[in-house]
Structure 1
Amino acid sequence: MSDEKKRFLLRLDQQLYDQLSQAADQENRSINAHIETILHKATQGDNFEQRQIIGQVINGAQINADNGLVTVTGIYYRYLISDNSPVEPTSRYAVVDAVGNILTLQKI
């Protein structure tokens, strides 16, 4: 793979930019590097969950801590919280990984 990088203009609304900026800060990356990582992961997915589920944002209300399941696009999955914190029903979570029927969620 070539080290040459292409440049292009990407227009984002302020809310999306702020969300990406916050996520990039949490990963100790620049926004550009964070977006590049997201795009790379999106193109490398080899299963339905990797292609369609990664990056989705869900409400904590979609997570059932009692039975250990989360509903994403009408499908039930088992889940892990990235920092092992308890589920907060009023918070929002991003799907950051999918292995089999287990999703890793990160509070945003």
Structure 2
Amino acid sequence: MTNPIEESHKKSGKIPLRIDPELHEVLVTRANKEGRSLNNYLTKLLEDGLQPKNFEDRQFVGQVISGENFDLPSRLVSISGIYYRYLIDNAITAKADAQYAIIEANGNILTLRELK
């Protein structure tokens, strides 16, 4: 016997969505280039967005690091004793007195965003 409370929380899989008509055109064009329906293309984009893309993303993305981990002259940051190159989102240089979140990892290059 099914639980009526659980049954009332089951999702239909349908999501009404309003988007800009220009974005709609771009998405249809990209879906067509991949030989997919728009629904299938959007489902793929959503699924891809939920899963880490690579090993580095699984290991690093979301970690918060302190500005004291930076070697500012060499533009390196130490994570678990290993030095990585980095880019700062929306800034040119890192600050030694700030905290940063790792928002992307691509090989040995980390993209960081200052936490405010």
Q: Which residue of 2 aligns with 1:81?
A: 88
Within a 5 Å distance, the mapping from 1:42-57 to structure 2 comes to 43-57=50-64
Structure 2 Cα separation of the partners of residues 106 and 84 of structure 1? 9
Please state how far the C-alpha of 1:46 moved relative to its aligned partner.
Answer: 3.6
When the two structures are superposed, what TM-score results if normalisation uses the length of structure 1?
0.58
- Of 106, 109, 116, the residue aligned with 1:99 is 106
RMSD: 1.9
> Is the alpha carbon distance of 1:3 and 1:78 closer, same or farther for their aligned partners in structure 2, counting shifts above 3 Å?
farther
When the two structures are superposed, what TM-score results if normalisation uses the length of structure 2?
0.54
> Is the alpha carbon distance of 1:66 and 1:97 closer, same or farther for their aligned partners in structure 2, counting shifts above 3 Å?
same
- Between Structure 1 and Structure 2, the one with more helix by share is 2
Please state how far the C-alpha of 1:52 moved relative to its aligned partner.
Answer: 1.1
Please state how far the C-alpha of 1:3 moved relative to its aligned partner.
Answer: 4.3
Larger radius of gyration: 2
Does 2:66 match 1:66? no
Once the two structures are aligned, what percentage of the paired residues are identical?
Answer: 42
Please state how far the C-alpha of 1:87 moved relative to its aligned partner.
Answer: 1.5
Structure 1 Cα separation of the partners of residues 77 and 14 of structure 2? 40
> Is the alpha carbon distance of 1:80 and 1:3 closer, same or farther for their aligned partners in structure 2, counting shifts above 3 Å?
farther
How many residue pairs get matched? 71
Amino acid paired to 1:92: Q
> Is the alpha carbon distance of 1:64 and 1:44 closer, same or farther for their aligned partners in structure 2, counting shifts above 3 Å?
same
Within a 5 Å distance, the mapping from 1:20-59 to structure 2 comes to 43-59=50-66
> Is the alpha carbon distance of 1:3 and 1:57 closer, same or farther for their aligned partners in structure 2, counting shifts above 3 Å?
farther
Structure 2 Cα separation of the partners of residues 69 and 52 of structure 1? 18
